[in-house]
Amino acid sequence: MDRQGYRPAKKSLSRPPAAGVRAGYAPSSSSRSRTKTADKAAGSKAPPHARPPYPSYAGVPPSAGRRPKKKAGWLIYPFALLLIAGLSLAGYYYHISSLVTPYDNTFCHGVYIDGIDMGGLTGPEGVNIVQNHAANRQQAWSVQLTFRGQNVAVLTSEMLGMEIRINEILSEAWTLGHQGNMFERKAAQDALRADNRHFYTAIPDATNTAVIDSILLDIRTSVYKEAVDARIVSFDAAAEEPFVYQQEVTGRMLDPQPIKERIFEMISVMESGEIEIVPTQIPPSITVADLRAQTSLRATAITEISKQSTENRTNNIRVAFESISGTQIKPGGRFSFNGIVGVRDKKRFYEAIEYANGTEQMGYGGGVCQASTTIYLAALKAGLEIVKREPHSDSVSYTVYGQDATVSSVKGHEIDFQFKNNTAGMLYICSAVQPDPKNKNQYICRVRIYGQEMDGVSYKLDSQTIQKLSIPSEPLLEKDTDRAYVTYTDEKKLKSRGKEGYVVDTYLCTIINNVETSRKLITHDTYPAKPDRYWVGTLRR
């Protein structure tokens, strides 16, 4: 059966091409003219059914040279495509409509009010549920403010005059997924499912914060504490732990803004609960640890007081140390032994043997050179800058050559010992005569210097004799005017044997973490040789 609108083509009456004639050949125009003339000359007219439909030539197909007719079937394909597209579009629209129209009278899924899933609820259902829920939440809502586990304030909706706007929120929530054409609504509903929208009926009045501000101001005032710096309460140079510190106090303050923001956040979602007040700490500028670092023991020096030392000599050392102990030196300041101890006279000091002009003799303050020497050793070990220092003219019993410091307050023959505080902090000096821990029947001189921590650095002294000086051959004669030992000029008596002299170099060695890193020559001292000394008489026989 033929398709509607379609007609089969008539059968061709042309003969097949003669053998040897190329298919598709068409006669020229001159050939066609000759054929027509021949037909007229024949004078006869063949019947329509007997006449060939097309001129016929030997070996030429009757259809050659004629253009075939177009078929009418090509028009059906565009119409078919349009029909299919229309049907598909109609089906897609129907599908979208079936997904969107169920929400024509209900809230869309993905919409929440006060935590309630409104999806699928009709308008009246939503109003009823939200109203009941909002009223209950408003009555039950409260926020407790606590500090260190204690309640300091309670906020309620009644105190804050909280406003509940149900109709406005419901209207805004209803619009989601209900606006625009079918496709826009579908896109909005898909977006809601992917990213839910939350609405809250409790609307805090951000412009009326007087109640909250007043409560937070009271809490801020009660929480505030001023920071207090640590300080040195006392410096007792005689104590083994000379410093007493006042402990620092960490202050605190409250920034109410974060708490205020948290309260409004809880109000907006009607969330009850507790807010812990956490103040900001105010650190002190100075701590006890800072003070300890500035009052660290930098060095200790000890010299032994000889058993042969007289009581007067030992007391002279005590008097000098009592003047020095407790001395504080500012950064850049100088320590002067004579400036602190003062003139050695009979008002304060005792008479004892002392070195003077290369000889031993009685004088007030004899023995204080052991005090100056002990301080000198402590200052070197503390890494301080020595400004003035002179060695003795002879050896002393309490230290080695190259590590002594003599002093004198005799007018015209003053010798001072000085050092400078070359650190960035204060220096504190403790000095005393104490019983020897190893021998209770003997005393020691002990000097401690406190100041900035030395961070693993320490110093030690290394004295080396580089030359010996021979005893002079010519003896030294002293007149015995008191005739205690000899009387006549031709008499003499040995007062003291001569001694060799020494040239000594002393190095200050720097130790860092128990490793010697450097050594520096700090003194080059000469201790003269001593000749034999004799008493001679003053009278002639």
CATH for 455-541 is 2.20.230
Q: Could you tell me where the beta strands, DSSP code E, fall in 237-376?
A: 243-246, 251-253, 273-276, 280-282, 296-304, 328-329, 334-336, 351-356, 359-364
Residue 167 pLDDT exceeds 90: no
Q: Tell me which of 385 and 141 has the higher pLDDT.
A: 385
| H or E stretch covering 114 | none
Strands 197-199 and 111-113: parallel
Residue 385 pLDDT exceeds 90: yes
Supply the pLDDT for residue 71. Answer: 53
Q: What percent of the chain stands above pLDDT 90?
A: 60
Could you tell me the pLDDT band of residue 6, with boundaries at 50, 70 and 90?
A: very low
CB-CB contact of 427 with 343 (8 Å):
no
Q: Tell me which of 300 and 160 has the higher pLDDT.
A: 300
- Dihedral of CA atoms 341, 347, 349, 351 in degrees, nearest 10, equals 140
Supply the pLDDT for residue 524. Answer: 97
Could you tell me the pLDDT band of residue 136, with boundaries at 50, 70 and 90?
A: confident
Could you tell me the pLDDT band of residue 380, with boundaries at 50, 70 and 90?
A: very high
Q: CA 194, CA 150: separation in Å to the nearest integer?
A: 43
Supply the pLDDT for residue 238. Answer: 94
Residue 7 pLDDT exceeds 60: no
Q: CA 38, CA 55: separation in Å to the nearest integer?
A: 12
Supply the pLDDT for residue 207. Answer: 59
Q: CA 189, CA 26: separation in Å to the nearest integer?
A: 72
Q: What is the per-residue pLDDT across 15-57, written as a single tens digit (0 to 9) for each?
A: 444 444 344 444 444 444 444 444 444 444 444 444 444 344 3
Could you tell me the pLDDT band of residue 269, with boundaries at 50, 70 and 90?
A: confident
- In this structure, what token pair is assigned to residue 98? 């079936």
Residue 157 pLDDT exceeds 70: yes
In sequence order, which residues have a C-beta less than 8 Å from that of residue 292 and are 6 or more positions away? 245
Map out the domains of the chain as residue ranges.
103-142+156-205, 303-453, 455-541
Q: CA 56, CA 63: separation in Å to the nearest integer?
A: 9
Q: Provide mean pLDDT across the span 84-92.
A: 75
Supply the pLDDT for residue 447. Answer: 98
Q: Which of 264, 283, 263 is nearest to 275 (CA)?
A: 263
Q: What is the per-residue pLDDT across 316-330, written as a single tens digit (0 to 9) for each?
A: 999 999 999 999 999
Q: Tell me which of 500 and 13 has the higher pLDDT.
A: 500
Supply the pLDDT for residue 68. Answer: 54
Q: What percent of the chain stands above pLDDT 70?
A: 84
Q: What is the per-residue pLDDT across 407-444, written as a single tens digit (0 to 9) for each?
A: 999 999 899 999 999 999 999 999 999 999 988 889 99
Q: Which of 467, 497, 307, 346 is nearest to 402 (CA)?
A: 467
Beta bridge partners of 106: 122
Beta bridge partners of 439: 436
Residue 486 pLDDT exceeds 70: yes
Q: Provide mean pLDDT across the span 228-253.
A: 96
Mean pLDDT of all residues in the chain?
85
